[in-house]
């Protein structure tokens, strides 16, 4: 059938032929089109009629399920069909495709799995990456995979990258500079207004005020952007009862059910107005008809992963300029609109240009597992817009090794292959696989779905409680989630379960490093990884002796538990045999600042029992002492004045000359304690035993032997004044400084310098009372210039000291004039 003649006329319509030609001739293209251009729905439908497509499917990637469903529904309606016919969608909990489907809208994570399971992308003609500017980890990985497939296996595969706002130059370079096509956006003007939010005012109060004002003074529906679900809920509470029955208040965020999300984006009924309270989910891909007013809080909530702790926390941050423009663009889709920004206009220029890509701040364990399945150990061999950070990759490889997914060479193990097939985060996949060994795969899979589909089973911190509620929960989403759990568990049970398993017993296999022991009072715990975690004292789990923590947020020092389950020491011994160990330890005791020895029964950093041992000695003591220094910092070491100056002199030469003069900053010295500290402190048992002379000797040992004789010449400790007095030179700043009484420099016609006379000293000249009177880098210029004014002032203040008219000709002195002269 012919589809394209019946397509509506939208801004992107004018560039559709150019897109078709670019993909026909060069197989790759980039489309930049602002919100409202119609790219999401019109481009796939137009390409459906291209001859080069043959009978191949068009895959359209969307960043969110809501956007995927909305795009599929809109395209199907444009061609007079139901979703599941020519146009369908596929996502984690819901598939609507058939043998007739030729345009398949998928979420980004689903596409990556499609490629990994079928590297040739059989039956696919074109892959379209929509809203690529959002730079999700799945989109970046999906594009890297698609480019790899196209270059190695499928030269006929077409790739189109589309975005409302795009760093075009970088993306075009990644695609080897294909045609870049730009489309106009909305045709209706938007009046952008600014309302600076007073300091200390809650964001929901500011948004509520702006909504009430706009509702009273303007017509049309309102779309308000808030950072998260909590702020949306509080704003909705503040708006209740403020408007008549003709105004509907509709929340819109990721945790809502499909019906509630669809209701939020559905056009308001005739004579009704709608106020949609949304997260960033409404920035792109979806259209909320009737909206002509946008209220923008200017905030968004982004996940930030800390590789050192394994914690992903949500941070509330300013939106990017690109996001702010997209939000404003929602107001001008069908008529002139208004965008109210709740910040000062001058702050807009300071916003980041784009939202940071997820690949730079995400847990990469899933990516590394998928890369191993693809046969790639070095991500640099694939075309990523931004290469993943090496530190995060290292932590991910370490975790996958602990979970048994990778061998020591970084290759995928048999267990790892099963884990990857589960389409779960690696920790949860490991839990389900382990549970299958005892016949509990179904319960483990249910827990995994609970932890990846927010809101199921309620909001309790207690996973056991949430699991019980989930099993009894009614509703389409709950049913779909239980079916998903069943598919995940299918075929994994190796035996029939002898008895029911508790949630904590299963979670031990996913989070062994987050087993936690109560320490410090109710609600306070220390985890096996050495980090602390807290939960409110009013929670039932706060009184538990031990927990396994599945989810937490916040910084390492103040992590807050979001989901956990009770465990016992017996559970750990049964599920993780050998993990609780008894051994002799030499450690640094922070309280006494000494090294000590003990026989401890422990699980990582959790100590169950310990017995003191005699005072230790040997190399292990020095290692423990170094750990103490790393923990407390270098300022706890008793450096002598000479050692401090030595460090400053070496540091000065490193800053001015560079290698091979060593870096002696705090970070560098802490990283090299085994070189300069350990060999010279072998007798020390605690901080009080550390030898000051050993510190000096150790610092000097970092200087190459052939350079040590140059140290005194290039950076001398003292300057010998014409009087014969020696004055210390200070090297702690950016340049060497000499503080000296001006009378001691009389008769000096050249400026004092070091490094063979090449580097002048900064002179801090003082009065006889050692008060500063002048700073100079040019002593002869000082004598010839401002000395006259200094002399005039100082003669009256210090009459018993010489103030000659020509100081360069006078004799230097440290004494006052004899009385009567």
Whether residue 668 sits in one domain with residue 723: no
Using alpha carbons, list the distances in angstroms from residue 426 to 205, 278, 402, 416, 417: 41, 31, 11, 9, 11
Residue 61 has pLDDT above 90, yes or no: yes
Q: What percent of the chain has pLDDT over 70?
A: 97
Residue 625 resides in a domain: no
Task: Give the pLDDT band (50/70/90) at residue 342.
Answer: very high
**CA–CA–CA angle 293, 326, 177 (5° rounding):** 160
**CA–CA–CA angle 186, 190, 193 (5° rounding):** 150
Region 117-129: what's the mean pLDDT?
95
Region 349-365: what's the mean pLDDT?
88
Residue 406 resides in a domain: no
Whether residue 701 sits in one domain with residue 799: no
Region 402-415: what's the mean pLDDT?
93
Residue 200 has pLDDT above 90, yes or no: no
Last residue of a domain, one of 335, 359, 383: 359
Residue 62 resides in a domain: yes
Task: Give the pLDDT band (50/70/90) at residue 557.
Answer: low
Residue 355 has pLDDT above 90, yes or no: no
Region 790-819: what's the mean pLDDT?
85
Give the count of beta carbons closer than 10 Å to the beta carbon of residue 19: 26
pLDDT score, position 108: 86
Residue 77 has pLDDT above 80, yes or no: yes
Whether residue 704 sits in one domain with residue 763: no
Whether residue 708 sits in one domain with residue 726: no
Residue 33 has pLDDT above 90, yes or no: no
- For the residues of 62-115, what is the DSSP string, one character each? ESSHHHHHHHHHHHHHHTT--TTSSEEEE-SS-EE--TT--EEEEEHHHHHHHH
Which value, to the nearest 10 degrees, does the dihedral of the CA atoms of residues 80, 82, 86, 89 take? 140
Q: Which of 57-66, 161-170, 417-426, 693-702 has the lowest mean pLDDT?
A: 161-170
Whether residue 300 sits in one domain with residue 194: yes
Cβ(164)–Cβ(91) below 8 Å: no
Region 629-650: what's the mean pLDDT?
89
Report the C-alpha gap between 580 and 508 in whole angstroms: 13
Residue 398 resides in a domain: no
Cβ(718)–Cβ(754) below 8 Å: no
Specify the number of domains making up the chain: 5
Q: Which of 218-222, 371-375, 733-737 has the lowest mean pLDDT?
A: 733-737
Whether residue 457 sits in one domain with residue 429: yes
User: For strand 337-341 and strand 291-296, is the pairing parallel, antiparallel, or unpaired?
Assistant: parallel
Q: Which domain holds residue 805?
A: 718-809
Q: Which of 178-182, 250-254, 775-779 shows the highest mean pLDDT?
A: 178-182
Cβ(295)–Cβ(225) below 8 Å: yes
pLDDT score, position 80: 92
Q: Which of 129-133, 426-430, 635-639, 644-648 shows the highest mean pLDDT?
A: 426-430
Whether residue 790 sits in one domain with residue 665: no
Which ranges in 106-190 belong to alpha helices (H)? 108-117, 137-152, 168-174
| pLDDT tens digits, 261-293 | 777 878 788 888 999 999 887 776 667 778 889
Residue 645 resides in a domain: yes
Q: Which of 35-49, 69-83, 180-194 has the lowest mean pLDDT?
A: 180-194
Residue 401 resides in a domain: no
Burial class of 678 by CB neighbour count within 10 A (0 to 12, 13 to 18, 19+)? middle
Last residue of a domain, one of 648, 681, 714: 714
pLDDT score, position 121: 94
Region 469-481: what's the mean pLDDT?
89
Upstream peptide bond of 307 is cis (omega within 30 degrees of 0): no
Whether residue 79 sits in one domain with residue 137: yes
Report the C-alpha gap between 57 and 101 in whole angstroms: 8
| Top-confidence residue, 256 or 525 | 525
Residue 724: phi and psi, rounded to 5, are 90, -10
Report the C-alpha gap between 104 and 71 in whole angstroms: 10
Q: What percent of the chain has pLDDT over 90?
A: 51
pLDDT score, position 580: 92
Region 304-324: what's the mean pLDDT?
80
Whether residue 538 sits in one domain with residue 428: yes
The reported pTM is 0.74
Q: What is the mean pLDDT of the chain?
A: 89
pLDDT score, position 187: 63
Whether residue 763 sits in one domain with residue 704: no
pLDDT score, position 185: 67
pLDDT score, position 1: 43
Whether residue 94 sits in one domain with residue 56: yes
Among 599, 707, 617, CA closest to 661: 707
Q: Which of 12-16, 125-129, 346-350, 557-561 has the lowest mean pLDDT?
A: 557-561
Residue 639 resides in a domain: yes
Region 186-197: what's the mean pLDDT?
86
pLDDT score, position 54: 92
Residue 386 resides in a domain: no
Residue 174 has pLDDT above 70, yes or no: yes
Last residue of a domain, one of 182, 208, 242: 182
Region 562-571: what's the mean pLDDT?
95
CATH number at residue 207: 3.40.50.300
pLDDT score, position 705: 87
Region 673-682: what's the mean pLDDT?
90
Whether residue 731 sits in one domain with residue 699: no
Residue 164 has pLDDT above 80, yes or no: no
């Amino acid at each position: 059938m012919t589809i394209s003649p019946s397509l509506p006329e939208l801004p992107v319509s004018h560039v559709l032929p150019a897109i078709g030609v670019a993909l026909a001739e060069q197989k790759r293209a980039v489309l930049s089109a602002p919100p409202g251009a119609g790219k999401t729905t019109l481009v796939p439908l137009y390409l459906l009629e291209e001859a080069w497509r043959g009978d191949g499917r068009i895959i359209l990637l969307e960043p969110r399920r809501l956007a995927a469903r909305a795009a599929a529904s809109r395209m199907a309606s444009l061609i007079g069909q139901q979703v599941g016919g020519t146009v369908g969608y596929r996502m984690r909990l819901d598939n609507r495709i058939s043998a007739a489907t030729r345009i398949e809208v998928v979420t980004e994570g689903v596409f990556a799995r499609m490629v990994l399971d079928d590297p040739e992308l059989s039956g696919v003609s074109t892959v379209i990456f929509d809203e690529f500017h959002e730079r999700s980890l799945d989109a970046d990985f999906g594009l890297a995979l698609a480019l790899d497939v196209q270059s190695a296996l499928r030269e006929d595969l077409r790739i189109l990258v589309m975005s409302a706002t795009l760093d075009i130059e970088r993306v075009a370079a990644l695609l080897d500079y294909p045609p870049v096509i730009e489309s106009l956006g909305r045709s209706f003007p938007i009046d952008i207004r600014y309302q600076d939010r007073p300091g200390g005012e809650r964001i929901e109060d500011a948004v509520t005020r702006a909504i009430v004002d706009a509702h009273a003074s303007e017509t049309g529906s309102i779309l308000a952007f808030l950072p998260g679900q909590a702020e949306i809920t509080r704003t909705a509470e503040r708006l209740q009862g403020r408007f008549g029955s003709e105004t509907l208040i509709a929340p819109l965020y990721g945790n809502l059910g499909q019906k509630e999300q669809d209701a939020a984006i559905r056009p308001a009924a005739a004579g009704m107005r709608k106020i949609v309270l949304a997260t960033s989910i409404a920035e792109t891909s979806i259209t909320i008809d009737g909206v002509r007013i946008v209220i923008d809080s200017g905030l968004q909530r982004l996940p930030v992963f800390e590789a050192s702790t394994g914690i992903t926390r949500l941070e509330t941050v300013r939106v990017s300029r690109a996001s702010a423009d997209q939000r404003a663009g929602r107001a001008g889709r069908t008529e002139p609109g208004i965008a109210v920004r709740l910040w000062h206009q001058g702050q807009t220029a300071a916003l980041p240009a784009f939202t940071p890509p997820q690949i730079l701040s995400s847990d990469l364990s899933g990516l590394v597992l998928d890369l191993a399945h693809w046969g790639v150990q070095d991500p640099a061999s694939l075309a990523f817009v931004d290469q993943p950070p090496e530190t995060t990759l290292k932590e991910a490889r370490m975790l996958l090794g602990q979970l048994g997914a990778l061998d020591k060479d970084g290759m995928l193990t048999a267990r790892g292959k099963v884990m990857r097939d589960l389409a779960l985060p690696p920790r949860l996949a490991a839990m389900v696989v382990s549970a299958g060994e005892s016949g509990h795969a179904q319960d483990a899979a249910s827990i995994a779905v609970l932890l990846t589909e927010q809101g199921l089973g309620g909001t309790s911190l207690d996973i056991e409680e949430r699991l019980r509620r989930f099993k009894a929960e009614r509703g389409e989403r709950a049913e779909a989630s239980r079916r998903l759990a069943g598919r995940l568990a299918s075929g994994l049970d190796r035996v029939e379960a002898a008895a029911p398993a508790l949630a904590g017993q299963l979670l031990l296999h996913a989070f062994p490093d987050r087993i936690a022991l109560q320490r410090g009072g109710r609600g306070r715990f220390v985890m096996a990884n050495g980090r602390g975690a807290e939960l409110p004292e009013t929670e039932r789990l706060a009184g538990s002796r031990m927990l396994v923590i599945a989810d937490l947020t916040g910084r390492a020092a103040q992590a807050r538990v979001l989901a956990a389950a009770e465990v016992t020491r017996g559970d750990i011994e049964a599920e993780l045999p050998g993990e609780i160990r008894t051994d002799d330890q030499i450690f640094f005791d922070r309280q006494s600042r000494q090294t000590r020895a003990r026989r401890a029964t422990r699980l990582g950093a959790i100590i169950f029992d310990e017995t003191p041992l005699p005072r230790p000695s040997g190399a292990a003591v020095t290692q423990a002492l170094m750990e103490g220094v790393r923990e407390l910092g270098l300022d706890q070491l008793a450096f002598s004045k000479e050692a401090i100056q030595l460090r400053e002199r070496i540091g000065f030469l490193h800053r001015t000359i560079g290698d091979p003069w060593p870096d002696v900053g705090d970070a560098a010295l802490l990283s090299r304690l085994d070189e300069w500290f350990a060999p010279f402190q072998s007798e020390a048992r605690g901080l009080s035993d550390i030898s000051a002379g050993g510190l000096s000797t150790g610092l000097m040992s970092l200087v190459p032997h052939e350079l040590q004789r140059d140290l005194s010449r290039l950076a001398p400790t003292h300057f010998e004044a014409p009087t014969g007095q020696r004055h210390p030179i200070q090297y702690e700043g950016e340049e060497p400084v000499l503080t000296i009484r001006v009378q001691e420099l009389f008769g000096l016609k050249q400026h004092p310098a070091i490094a063979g006379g090449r580097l002048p000293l900064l002179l801090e000249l003082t009065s006889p009372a050692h008060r500063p009177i002048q700073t100079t880098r040019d002593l002869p210029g000082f004598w010839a210039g401002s000395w006259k004014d200094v002399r005039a002032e100082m003669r009256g203040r210090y009459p018993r000291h010489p103030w000659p008219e020509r100081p360069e000709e006078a004799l230097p002195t440290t004494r006052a004039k004899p009385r009567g002269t």
